Structure 1
Amino acid sequence: MSIIEKALDKNRTRPDKARIETSTQEAEQAPAPKVPRSREVHIDFAWLRKQGIVVPGEGRTSAAEEFRMMKRPLLNNAFGRHTAMKVPKGRLIMVTSALPGEGKTFTSTNLALSIAMEVDRTVLLVDSDVARPAIPRTMGFQADRGLMDVLTDPNLDIPDVLLRTNVEGLTVLPAGRPHGRSTEILASDAMMRLIDDLHERYDDRIILFDSPPLLATSEPGVLAHHMGQVVMVVDADTTPASSVERAMDQLQSCDVVLSMLNRAAPSPGMGYAGGYYYGGRDHEMDAREQA
């Protein structure tokens, strides 16, 4: 090959090298794949106020004080403070009732907002009443995908359906789309893995489940097996004692069950009384619904 041919051949290879170098540089400068992020929703404080629900930052109302006192034994059990022993999986808390209409969503919402106001705690409120989800409506926003979608769609992960709120420290996991086999799905290995993931991801987080009524559907009895604590909401005026007893029978797998009397008449000079249902000893937490 002549000197001229060699020079021509060398020049022909340069564009290929340049293209390779350019492609490498473009690959290095290309943005990283987007990580799924939870979207943000706005809790309607005026709507909360209208329902008698605690509004963050509004000072020392009677409702706020009652739920401050109500959350304390739950937090002590969850983190093992103030002489209370740390309960295994105590950060997993289910709020339920025996019958519909006793105020369990009212209680779940107030508890979540009150815990979110703690300086060093966060709370994830899970709407596990998949047949009749009420958390978005109660807080004044709309939600679509949620818990059931993560459990049934392998292409979805928890961050895809979490909802960050305008209350610092409070995140919501909606119920998602209803499913005909919800009981079996909530009893599945996928649900156990999801609960474990939620529990282990942040050690300062309370995971609060708003559950269906125990005597209305089979899901809460299944969910109770995964919980460290259960709050049983009882309407002080209307719930028959026999219904409470039958509901309690479904919670035998949970060692810590706290009962809360809702719409109870105030005791003279006292607005609140707190305690436990623990290991067969039944005490009551007294809270009066404002709406």
Structure 2
Amino acid sequence: MAMEKLQAALDKARKTRTTAAHPPRTAANSRAVSGQTRGQDDLWQALEPFTVNPRHLETHRVVTHAASEAAAPFDILRTKVLLQMRQNGWKRLAITSPMPQSGKTTTACNLALGLGRQRDLRAMLFDLDLRDPSVHEFFETTPQHGIDALLTGQVDFAQQGLRIGDNVAVSMSRGPVADPTRLLLDEQTAEALDRIEAEYAPDLMIFDLPSVLVNDDTRAFLKNVDCALIVIRADATHYSQFNTCEREIGEQTNVLGVVLNAYRYGANSKSA
């Protein structure tokens, strides 16, 4: 019965989703278009590089570092996300869930690395789950400066961001941040992200946000994105949780879609 309710809710979300209610942000977009274009290659190459450990990533179900059968579902998600965001002129994607342990960070990391295999694209991943950050654990890398230092203007992206390959930049935390709601709501945070977008001109900015129903952090930040992807877990997410989450996100930004995780679709199937 729970799965039937979730499926009905997903169908309803697909039918009722609109883009007119939340037009793309214009200030950052216009700056990115009219801003400096020369030297962007140098800016990206100047970011400190690091390598990922495929075996460690796979323990966290991050499998898109190379093309494979396991990566195929995330590659399909990547293509759908790209096409829909390009059609609407969007660049900023939030990834969240109703409750924790739904797979949102796994989805964010898989999407970022999958985009990295598209050599003509540049993607950025920001870990904004500031009470319980984990992207640095997935990648086994801790930055010299935390993302809070970036958002408060203590350092710029050239000092804080790290690079995977040639075209994926990652902004991570060093650990939990005090009073994250204030930081995510602060206009200084919006200005910092606008500067990064204007200077580096990424094709896609991915924000791994906290679960919507556990605190106010995601609500505080959604004004800064063009759309959001909701990750739900088939064996844990209740219909009422998804319904509340989808409604609250839809009040502030566009719901790009829903990822149904851990759905057992056959007797011998495994969780996603």
TM-score of the superposition, structure 1-length normalised?
0.71
* Offset, 1:233: 0.2
Would the alpha carbon gap of residues 111 and 135 (structure 1) be closer, same or farther in structure 2, given more than 3 Å must change? Answer: same
Say if 1:91 and 1:199, in contact at 8 Å, map to a contact too.
no
| Secondary structure in 2 matching 1:225 | helix
Give the length in aligned residue pairs.
227
* Offset, 1:288: 5.1
Say if 1:102 and 1:235, in contact at 8 Å, map to a contact too.
yes
Q: Could you tell me which residue of structure 2 aligns to residue 60 of structure 1?
A: 68
Bigger mean CA offset, 109-118 vs 257-266: 257-266
Would the alpha carbon gap of residues 219 and 144 (structure 1) be closer, same or farther in structure 2, given more than 3 Å must change? Answer: farther
Say whether residues 1:95 and 2:95 are aligned partners. Answer: yes
Would the alpha carbon gap of residues 200 and 267 (structure 1) be closer, same or farther in structure 2, given more than 3 Å must change? Answer: farther
Q: Could you tell me which residue of structure 1 aligns to residue 25 of structure 2?
A: none
Choose between structure 1 and 2: higher helix proportion.
Answer: 2
Q: What is the rounded CA distance, in whole Å, between the counterparts of 2:266 and 2:124 in structure 1?
A: 33
Say if 1:146 and 1:162, in contact at 8 Å, map to a contact too.
no
Report the residue type matching 2:124 in the other structure.
Answer: L
Where do 1:1-150 residues align within 5 Å? 37-57=46-66, 59-61=67-69, 63-80=70-87, 86-87=88-89, 90-150=90-150
Q: Could you tell me which residue of structure 2 aligns to residue 235 of structure 1?
A: 233
Identity rate of aligned residues, in percent?
20
Say if 2:135 and 2:172, in contact at 8 Å, map to a contact too.
yes
* Offset, 1:250: 2.1
Q: What is the rounded CA distance, in whole Å, between the counterparts of 2:196 and 2:202 in structure 1?
A: 11
Q: What is the rounded CA distance, in whole Å, between the counterparts of 2:59 and 2:132 in structure 1?
A: 22
Report the residue type matching 2:59 in the other structure.
Answer: K
| Secondary structure in 1 matching 2:224 | coil
Q: Could you tell me which residue of structure 1 aligns to residue 37 of structure 2?
A: none
Would the alpha carbon gap of residues 200 and 123 (structure 1) be closer, same or farther in structure 2, given more than 3 Å must change? Answer: same
Report the residue type matching 1:190 in the other structure.
Answer: Q
| Secondary structure in 1 matching 2:212 | coil
Say if 1:49 and 1:55, in contact at 8 Å, map to a contact too.
no
* Offset, 1:145: 1.8
Q: What is the rounded CA distance, in whole Å, between the counterparts of 1:76 and 1:191 in structure 2?
A: 28
| Secondary structure in 2 matching 1:145 | coil
Q: Could you tell me which residue of structure 1 aligns to residue 260 of structure 2?
A: 261
Where do 1:137-176 residues align within 5 Å? 137-152=137-152, 154-165=153-164, 167-176=165-174
Say if 1:198 and 1:207, in contact at 8 Å, map to a contact too.
no
Structure 1 runs of 4+ with >3 Å offset? 176-179
Report the residue type matching 2:241 in the other structure.
Answer: S
Q: Could you tell me which residue of structure 2 aligns to residue 21 of structure 1?
A: none
Where do 1:201-216 residues align within 5 Å? 201-216=199-214
Say if 2:146 and 2:173, in contact at 8 Å, map to a contact too.
yes
Q: Could you tell me which residue of structure 2 aligns to residue 194 of structure 1?
A: 192
| 1:255-280 deviation per Cα after TM superposition (whole angstroms, max 9, x unaligned) | 23311100112379xx9xxxxxxxxx
| RMSD over aligned Cα atoms | 2.4
| Secondary structure in 2 matching 1:102 | coil
| Secondary structure in 1 matching 2:84 | helix
Return the structure number with greater relative CO, CA threshold 8 A, min gap 6.
2
Q: Provide structure 1 residue ranges, at least 5 long, that are not aligned to the other structure.
A: 1-34, 81-85, 272-286
| 1:90-129 deviation per Cα after TM superposition (whole angstroms, max 9, x unaligned) | 2100110010101111111111111111131111110001
| 1:171-230 deviation per Cα after TM superposition (whole angstroms, max 9, x unaligned) | 110134544322112111111112222333344521101111111121111211111120
* Offset, 1:43: 1.3
